[in-house]
Structure 1
Amino acid sequence: MYDTEVTHRSGPGAILLLLPLGVGALVAVALGRYGTLHEPTGFAVGVAGFSGALPMKAWLTTGALLLAAVQLFSALVMWGRIRLDMPWIYGVHRWSGRLAFLLTLPVAFHCLYALGARYDDTRVLVHSLAGCFFYGIFTTKMLALSRRGIPGWAFPILGGLAFTALVALWLTSSLWFFTTAGLKW
C-alpha cells in the first residue's frame, strides 16, 4: 500500500494538497467561528453512564488518545520505521483511526454546542484552537487519502499533526480534569 518510491516522491503532486488543505482550513475556521457566534446552551448530550459532561469528555478523549497511540504505532510499522511482519496492521490503522474519531464527536459536539469557543483563559484558548485545528487537519488528511498523486511524505506529516493536536486537546482537557477533579467516572 505504501511503497518507498511513493514515500520519497515530491514535486508537482504537492499541488494536489492545496484543495484538501483549503477545505481543512475552512473546516477549522468554520468550527472556530461557530464556537464564537453560537450562544452556549450549557448542555448538549446525555452523559450515558458518566457522572457528568466533564468526566464523559475526559474519558472519551483519553480513549481517543490511546487509539491515536495505536495509530502512531501502526503508521510506524506501515511506513517501515518499525520492522515487524504484520500484514493486518493496515486494518488496525484504519479501524483505530475510525474509532478514535468517533470518540471525539460527542466531545466536540458538547464543547461547541454547550460551551462554545472561549478565548478569555489560556488553557481554554489553546484547547479551542487545538480542537478546531484537529478537525481541520483530520479533514485534510481524509481528503488527501482519496486523491491519487499526493506525495507520500504528506501522510505522515498530516497524521503527525492530527496526533499532536489530539495530544494538545488531551493535555488541556482530560489531564486538566483528572488533576483537578480526580479520576471520576
Structure 2
Amino acid sequence: MSGTPANGTADGTTDDTQALRTPPRQNLAPLLVPLVVGGLVAVALGVYGRAHTPTGFAVGPAGFSGPLAMKSWLTTGAFLLAGVQVFSALVMWGRIKLDVPWIGALHRWSGRAAFLLTIPVAFHCLYALGAQFDVTRVLVHSLLGCFFYGVFTAKMLALPKRGLPGWTLPLLGGLAFTALAGLWVTSSLWFFTTIGIKL
C-alpha cells in the first residue's frame, strides 16, 4: 500500500488542487478571423492609398477654412471621444469605481461618434492625398491611419465572439486609441502648432 492518497499525487495534492493551479488553456482560434480581416483592411488601405493618383480634393470642408483645418478639428473630436472610450471602459471593467448605470451607453455612443468623425478625414487623406512616404511625419501618419482601421475592424469583429481571452478587447481597444493618438499628434497637433488654431 503506497502513501499516495486516492485521486492524489505523491506530494499530497489532489486532482482538483492541480486544476486550480494550472491556468486554463486560452482558445485563440476565434481571434484568428478578426486579426486576419483587420490585417487585410490595413494592407488594402495602404495599397490603395499608394496606388491611387491623388486628386487634391475629396470633400468640401463645410464650415472650415480649408481641408487641413477640417481634418484637424474632426481628428481632435475623435481623439477626445476616444478618451471618453478609455475612461468608460475602465469604469465598465471595474478599474475605476463609479456607479454610473448609463456608462455602457456612453461607451457605445462615444465610440460610434468617434468613428464617424474619422470617416471624412480618412476619405480625404486616401482620395485627395494618398499614402505618402517621402516625409517622416506623413509616413508615420499614413501607416498609423491604415493600422487604426485595421485594428478597429479586428476589434469590431472580435466584440461579439465568445470564449476569447480576457485581454483581447482591452488590447485591441488600447491599440486603436494609441493609433488615434498618434494620428492626432501627426496631424492636428502639427497643424495647430505650425499653421495655427483656426477653423
Alpha-carbon offset, residue 12 of structure 1: 3.9
Partners of 1:63 and 1:10 lie apart in 2 by: 41
Counterpart pick for 1:99 among 113, 137, 147? 113
Q: 1:183 to 1:10 in 2, by over 3 A?
A: farther
Give CA-to-partner distance per residue, 1:18-55, whole Å, 9 cap, x none.
11000000000000000000000000001110010000
The number of equivalent residue pairs is 177
1:180 is matched with: 194
Q: Aligned AA for 1:44? A: A
Partners of 1:106 and 1:69 lie apart in 2 by: 20
Question: Does residue 136 of structure 1 match 2:150?
Answer: yes
Partners of 2:137 and 2:53 lie apart in 1 by: 21
What does 1:113-132 correspond to in 2, within 5 Å? 113-132=127-146
What does 1:20-39 correspond to in 2, within 5 Å? 20-39=34-53
Partners of 1:66 and 1:118 lie apart in 2 by: 26
Q: Looking at both structures, which has the greater relative contact order when contacts are Cα pairs under 8 Å and sequence separation is at least 6?
A: 1
Counterpart pick for 2:99 among 85, 90, 102? 85
Partners of 2:59 and 2:65 lie apart in 1 by: 13
1:151 is matched with: 165
Alpha-carbon offset, residue 148 of structure 1: 1.9
1:41 is matched with: 55
TM-score, with length taken from structure 2: 0.87
The answer to whether the 8 A contact 1:10-1:151 is kept is: no
**SS in structure 2 opposite 1:47?**
coil
Alpha-carbon offset, residue 87 of structure 1: 1.7
TM-score, with length taken from structure 1: 0.93
1:6 is matched with: none
Q: Identity of aligned pairs, percent?
A: 73
Give CA-to-partner distance per residue, 1:37-80, whole Å, 9 cap, x none.
00000000011100100000000000000000000000000001
Counterpart pick for 1:14 among 28, 33, 37? 28
Q: What is the aligned-residue RMSD (CA, Å)?
A: 1.1
1:112 is matched with: 126
Alpha-carbon offset, residue 13 of structure 1: 2.6
Moved more, 13-22 or 116-125: 13-22
Report which of the two has the higher share of helix.
Answer: 1
Structure of higher CA gyration radius: 2
Q: 1:23 to 1:120 in 2, by over 3 A?
A: same
2:175 is matched with: 161
